[in-house]
């Protein structure tokens, strides 16, 4: 029996498709409830008019009590129906956020989004969630109920239906013109404001450096200019929005007077509309027809933001689907890595940061990368494990492109240590086991191999110590990340600056780890500025300035790459 699918097992676009079907069903239910509430509202208005125009003047206690009982019944019916509508809206918003949050974050991480872009994706989910559970959806349902109200008006008198239809179209035209006038400037203002907030977040990340080097005032001025520009755009946009709301309010007030004029005209011409109760009911229905269109302008900004958020989520989901279609699972019996004419061009750069690089690493060999800061070492390592897509050429693990390898499957064969180790929450054992169910034998083996066992044993609860409750030094975090990289004995281990934050003892343990990995015939590729580590490598590649060709360091001859497979 297959295991139940978790939210993160489904792609973002698949989750959106599933939710779209659920949204349609819930909207149909809300619409059906709205139809019942509309008829109940109309009938309650009729009984109320009969109470005041017939029963009370006749001074019949029996009739008054009967009509009051009926009115009480319809009040309870309408209250229950509206409560059901509100409950369904809230449940729909909760369902959307519950199902989509995890796939959206995973899709953003898979697409290589920066932290601020992932945060925007999370905000997009919150925006759509708020729109589905808030007043915007209630207004949309009221608009959908307009045809039902027009049918009721037709049975009272066709002139009321015609008036309501013309008034609704006029109000809709004003709303659409307002939407077209405001939507573009509002999106630009929001984008400018977000850029300013991202700049502020980056400054907060480097707060110590900012304060220590004394450029906080200059940074505040620049950030203030960015925020001020976005705020100015936002103020101009909201002025347009208020103008649109004023025009809509004027049209709305004028249209609300028109039914009374129509009733007077019909009465003067001797047209019988079925009594005062039906006339009052017609007035109430016409007001109900006009009400959602006037409210739409009040929710104009929310509508623009919701549509933009949904479009961004859909594009992100489509990008994830396109990438997943290119990925497959492959066997990895050896761990032989071949790089064939690899070229990587990053956005905004004139020259490729990696150009026509070719080499091959056999199982059990260690390759060290050296070069100045910014020469492309980290980009090369990310390309080797398929995180960075190549512009030309490719990287092949046992003959299969790592860029087209399913990420979950590739992770079984690859260990990766980035410069920002990013230990997650949970226990120490959870972190080493990559947040899977820890195999304690493999966890202990990985910790012993990288020299982290004694450090972990000294923590308050050993391997059960929760990372959120224990402050770790940079060196301790580095050792845990090394243990995570070699957990499960991967075929290929890729390390970006593994000697960073390690003292002399830690560097010596790292050299012993390289020796153990060689004995296991595990391929190792690392970047470093530590001469001792680079000297211990079987092969070396020195990267130069951006756009230049790399140079092989001939301690042992580096095997050239053959034809890509």
Residues 6 or more apart in contact with residue 533 via CB below 8 angstroms? 368, 498, 499, 507, 510, 511, 514, 526
Q: How far apart are CA 170 and CA 286, in angstroms?
A: 13
According to DSSP H, which parts of 269-423 are helical?
Answer: 276-298, 300-325, 377-384, 407-411
What is the Cβ-side half-sphere exposure of residue 392, based on CA atoms within 13 angstroms?
10
- For residue 357, the surrounding DSSP H or E stretch is strand 354-361
Contact assessment for residue 128 and residue 15, using Cβ atoms and an 8 Å cutoff: no
Helical H segments across 385-418, by residue range: 407-411
Q: Is residue 142 part of a domain?
A: yes
DSSP conformation class of 551 = E
pLDDT at site 6: 43
Alpha-carbon distance of 248 to 236, in angstroms, equals 19
Please report, to the nearest 10 degrees, the dihedral formed by the alpha carbons of residues 493, 495, 500, 506 taken in order.
10
Helix 276-298 and helix 146-156, axial crossing angle in degrees, nearest 10: 160
Query: What pLDDT, on the 0 to 100 scale, is given for residue 1?
Result: 33
Cα 198 → chain centroid:
16
- Number of H helices and E strands in the chain, helices first, is 19, 10
* pLDDT confidence of residue 61: 65
Same domain, 320 and 196: yes
Same domain, 386 and 280: no
Domain identity same for 78 and 195: yes
Q: What is the distance between the alpha carbons of residues 148 and 515, in angstroms, rounded to a whole number?
A: 78
- For residue 2, tell me if it sits in a domain: no
Nearest-angstrom CA–CA distance, 39 and 152 = 9
Asked, for residue 367, whether it belongs to a domain, the answer is yes
Chosen domain end from 259, 294, 325: 325
Same domain? For 237 and 363 the reply is no
Coil/strand/helix, residue 552: strand
If asked whether residues 496 and 531 sit together in one domain, one would say yes
Residue 412 lies in a domain: yes
C-alpha to C-alpha distances, 307 to 13, 293, 342, nearest whole angstrom: 16, 18, 40
The C-alpha torsion from 115 through 118 and 123 to 126, rounded to 10°, is -130
Question: DSSP class of residue 237?
Answer: H
Domain region containing 218:
8-325
Question: Which residue pairs from 35-41 have beta carbons closer than 8 angstroms and sit at least 24 positions apart in sequence?
Answer: 35/145, 35/148, 36/81, 37/78, 37/81, 37/82, 37/85, 38/145, 38/148, 38/149, 38/152, 38/288, 39/152, 40/74, 40/77, 40/78, 40/81, 41/78, 41/284, 41/288
CA distance 561 to 396: 10
Residue 68 in tokens: 């009051």
Is residue 369, in this structure, part of any structural domain at all? yes
In the listed set 275, 302, 325, which residue is the last one of a domain according to the structure?
325
Instruction: Let me know if residue 157 belongs to a domain.
Output: yes
Q: Quick one: 401 and 482 in the same domain?
A: yes
Tokens 């497979």 locate to 565
Domain count, the chain: 2
Q: What is the pLDDT of residues 197-246, one digit of tens each?
A: 665 655 565 555 555 656 556 656 666 665 555 556 566 666 666 666 67
Beta-strand pair 400-401/392-397? antiparallel
Question: Do 354 and 292 share a structural domain?
Answer: no
> CATH number of the domain that 465 lies in?
3.40.50.300
pLDDT at position 526, please? 94
Residue 165 and residue 72 in one domain:
yes
* Residues 316 and 352 reside in one and the same domain: no
CB 467 within 8 A of CB 428: yes
Could you give the angle at the alpha carbon of 390 between the alpha carbons of 389 and 392, nearest 5°? 150
Low-confidence ranges of the chain (pLDDT < 70): 1-10, 45-64, 67, 108-118, 175-176, 178-245, 247-281, 294-298, 300-301, 322-328, 424, 545-565
Looking at the fold, whether 258 and 395 belong to one and the same domain comes out as no
CATH number of the domain encompassing residue 277: 1.20.1560.10
Does residue 452 sit within a domain? yes
pLDDT score recorded for residue 205: 55
DSSP one-letter code for 351:
S
Domain stops at, among 291, 325, 359: 325
What pLDDT digit, counting tens, does each position of 378-403 carry?
Answer: 889 999 988 888 888 889 998 888 88
Round to whole Å and give the CA distance between 32 and 12.
Answer: 30
Q: What count of Cα atoms within 13 Å lies in the side-chain half-sphere of residue 357?
A: 36
On whether both 318 and 382 belong to a single domain, the answer is: no
Residue 344 and residue 315 share a domain: no
Residue 354's SS3 state is: strand
Continuous H helices in 461-553? 474-486, 504-519, 531-536
Q: Position of tokens 């899977």?
A: 436
> 563 in a domain, yes or no?
no
């Amino acid at each position: 029996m297959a295991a139940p699918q978790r939210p993160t097992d489904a792609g973002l676009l698949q989750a959106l498709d599933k939710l779209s079907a659920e949204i349609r069903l819930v909207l149909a239910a809300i619409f059906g409830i709205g139809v019942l509430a509309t008829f109940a509202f109309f009938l309650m208005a009729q009984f109320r008019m009969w109470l005041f125009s017939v029963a009370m003047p006749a001074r019949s206690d029996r009739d008054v009590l009967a009509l009051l009982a009926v009115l009480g019944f319809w009040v309870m019916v309408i209250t229950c129906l509206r409560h059901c509508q509100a409950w369904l809206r809230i449940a729909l918003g909760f369902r959307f956020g519950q199902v989509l949050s995890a796939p959206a974050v995973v899709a953003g991480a898979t697409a290589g989004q920066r932290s601020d872009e992932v945060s925007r994706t999370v905000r997009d989910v919150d925006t759509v969630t708020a729109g589905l559970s808030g007043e915007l959806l209630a207004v949309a349902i009221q608009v959908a109920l307009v045809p039902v109200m027009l049918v009721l008006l037709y049975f009272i008198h066709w002139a009321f239906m015609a008036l309501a239809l013309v008034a609704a179209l006029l109000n809709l035209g004003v709303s659409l013109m307002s939407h077209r006038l405001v939507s573009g400037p509002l999106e630009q203002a929001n984008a400018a404001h977000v850029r300013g907030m991202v700049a502020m977040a980056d400054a907060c990340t480097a707060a110590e450096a900012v304060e220590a080097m004394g450029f906080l005032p200059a940074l505040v001025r620049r950030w203030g200019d960015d925020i001020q520009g976005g705020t100015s755009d936002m103020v101009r946009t909201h002025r347009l929005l208020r103008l649109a709301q004023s025009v809509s309010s004027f049209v709305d007030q004028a249209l609300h007077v028109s039914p009374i004029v129509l009733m007077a005209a019909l009465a003067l011409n001797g047209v019988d509309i079925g009594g005062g109760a039906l006339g009052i009911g017609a007035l109430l229905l016409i007001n109900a027809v006009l009400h959602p269109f006037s409210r739409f302008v009040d929710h104009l900004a929310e509508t623009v933001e919701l549509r933009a958020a949904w479009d961004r989520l859909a594009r992100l989901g489509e990008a994830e689907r396109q990438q997943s279609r290119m990925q497959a699972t492959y066997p990895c019996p050896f761990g032989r890595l071949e790089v064939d004419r690899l070229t990587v061009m990053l956005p905004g750069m004139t020259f490729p940061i990696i150009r026509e690089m070719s080499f091959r690493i056999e199982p059990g060999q260690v390759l060290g990368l050296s070069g100045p800061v910014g020469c492309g070492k980290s980009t090369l390592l990310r390309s080797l494990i398929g995180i960075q897509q190549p512009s030309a050429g490719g990287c092949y693990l046992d003959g299969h492109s790592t860029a087209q390898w399913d990420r979950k499957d590739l992770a079984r064969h690859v260990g990766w240590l980035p410069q920002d180790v990013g230990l997650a929450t949970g226990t120490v054992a959870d972190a080493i086991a990559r947040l899977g169910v820890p195999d304690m034998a493999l966890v202990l083996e990985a910790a012993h191999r990288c020299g982290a066992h004694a450090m972990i044993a000294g923590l308050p609860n050993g391997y059960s110590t929760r990372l959120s409750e224990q402050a770790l030094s940079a060196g301790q975090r580095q050792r845990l990340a090394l243990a995570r990289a070699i957990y499960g004995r991967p075929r290929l281990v890729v390390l970006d600056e593994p000697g960073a934050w390690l003292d002399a003892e830690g560097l010596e343990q790292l050299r012993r780890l390289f020796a153990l990995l060689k004995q296991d015939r595990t391929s190792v590729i690392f970047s470093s500025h530590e001469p001792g580590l680079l000297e211990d490598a079987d092969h070396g590649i020195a990267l130069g300035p951006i756009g230049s060709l790399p140079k092989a360091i001939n301690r042992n001859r580096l095997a050239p790459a053959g034809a890509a497979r």
